[in-house]
Amino acid sequence: MDFEKELKVTETNIPGLLVFDLSVHGDNRGWFKENWQRAKMTALGLPDFGPVQNNISFNAVKGVTRGIHAEPWDKYISIAAGSIFGAWVDLRPGETLGQVFTTRLDPSKAIYVPRGVGNSFQALEDGTVYTYLVNAHWSLEQKKTYTFVNLADPELNIQWPIPLEESERSEADLHHPMLKDAKPMAPRRT
Amino acid sequence: MDFEKELKVTETNIPGLLVFDLSVHGDNRGWFKENWQRAKMTALGLPDFGPVQNNISFNAVKGVTRGIHAEPWDKYISIAAGSIFGAWVDLRPGETLGQVFTTRLDPSKAIYVPRGVGNSFQALEDGTVYTYLVNAHWSLEQKKTYTFVNLADPELNIQWPIPLEESERSEADLHHPMLKDAKPMAPRRT
Ligand SMILES: Cc1cn([C@H]2C[C@H](O)[C@@H](COP(=O)(O)OP(=O)(O)O[C@H]3O[C@@H](C)[C@H](O)[C@@H](O)[C@H]3O)O2)c(=O)[nH]c1=O
Ligand SMILES: Cc1cn([C@H]2C[C@H](O)[C@@H](COP(=O)(O)OP(=O)(O)O[C@H]3O[C@@H](C)[C@H](O)[C@@H](O)[C@H]3O)O2)c(=O)[nH]c1=O
């Protein structure tokens, strides 16, 4: 991991999907970072997305894989320990539907995932801690409005570092449809 | 750590210092938790504190100790990995000045620390990850407005599980004044 980088944002091939470099300060105790800083980051182009919920998932072993889930809210995702390989798929109706972006994230990186972009990741280390802020309250009923796509879809051709057959996944994530059979996410009601 | 607890809030001897039990869901992949959920938690009595910054500190080894810092904003603190022994000291002018509360936190717990309450903790495990939300943007200049107290103040008599002499601390945290010489935090300007 790189320390003392300058806070920076990088655009991707998926519109609105933004990768951040964070500044991590190391010392005799470990390290410290501003994981999200509204003023500095909105100045760089992060939407002022108004988080109301913070979720944390603990991924016990290398290879745990979760996704692909597009939910009807925005997410700001980062790593508190360990590292991941992430894959994002545009699931909004339109020209960029099906575009894929992949990258590795460690604690010195973050990513902003706009509503309708499918999210997935694989833990690259035992004990990887994944934390994210969202701007709507989750509820079980809303799962009906998600768009799910299969991690193994050959059309997406995601190069998972650890073969999916060897990875821990949830029962649900084994059975999502391929992109060609998935229903793109409905636009936000206005 | 306890799984599947019900979300719950408990008051302490320090006014406004609130301890939360969080619901952690375990499965074949590890675990998942709603670390902060504005609607459910404000319904239970968490102030609607309006976070604008999320900080994470990584504490590499057991015994790392940080504090005692009272800053001019509110904090919602929790654990993403490992566990801590925490100590909080009321540093607001008034009847409860000098009151101490201590407890252990693991990922199934969180604590809300109102402005003017001094915050400190000791990592009880290697690789302990401490994450918190605050409702003001940090800046170096504001350090002048903090109230600092010494972790070793005999008047506070905090029973640190790992002796302070054996703990990693910052140079700054070695030199804070004792409570009797500290300047209580000025009330919020209105
Ligand atoms: C997402 C979520 C789940 N839960 C509960 C439901 C289950 O008991 C448990 C685990 O839920 P699952 O849906 O299996 O978690 P998961 O880790 O498979 O889901 C996550 O995958 C990421 C790739 C996405 O980006 C996330 O937004 C989320 O969908 O947590 C909540 O209580 N609140 C929440 O916000
Ligand atoms: C608090 C903070 C520090 N920093 C930088 C300054 C230093 O380079 C580095 C470490 O800062 P320090 O003040 O030494 O961190 P620290 O871990 O000793 O300070 C923390 O201690 C906890 C007990 C308090 O509750 C926290 O609110 C904070 O004061 O991080 C930020 O960039 N943003 C911030 O918000």
- Angle CA A26–B54–B82, to nearest 5: 65
d(CA A152, CA A178): 8
| Sequence ranges of the domains in chain A | 8-181
| Cβ proximity of A135 and A49 under 8 Å | yes
pLDDT digits over B86-137, tens only? 999 999 999 999 999 999 999 999 999 999 999 999 999 999 999 999 999 9
Least confidently predicted of A57-66, A139-148, B10-19: A139-148
Query: The domain A8-181: what is its CATH number?
Result: 2.60.120.10
Among residues A115, A117, A78, the alpha carbon closest in space to that of A100 is found at A117
Q: How far is the CA of B133 from the centre of ligand 2 (A)?
A: 13
Q: pLDDT value at position B189?
A: 64
Which DSSP symbol is given to B143? G
pLDDT digits over A92-127, tens only? 999 999 999 999 999 999 999 999 999 999 999 999
CB contact under 8 A, A168 and B29: yes
Q: Any idea which fold B49-181 has?
A: Jelly Rolls (2.60.120)
A69 is catalytic: yes
pLDDT band at residue A53 under the 50/70/90 scheme: very high
Does residue B74 register a pLDDT over 90?
yes
Q: pLDDT value at position B156?
A: 98
Size of interface A-B (CB pairs under 8 A): 125
Does residue B187 register a pLDDT over 90?
no
Q: Which residue is it, tokens 């990513």? A: A111
A146 is catalytic: no
SS3 A122: strand
Chain A positions in Cβ-Cβ contact with residue B67 (cut-off 8 Å): none
| Cβ proximity of A170 and B27 under 8 Å | yes
pLDDT digits over A76-87, tens only? 999 999 999 999
Does residue A189 register a pLDDT over 80?
no
d(CA B178, CA B152): 8
Is the CB of A96 inside 8 Å of chain B's CB atoms?
Answer: no
pLDDT band at residue B181 under the 50/70/90 scheme: very high
Does residue B65 register a pLDDT over 60?
yes
Does residue B138 register a pLDDT over 90?
yes
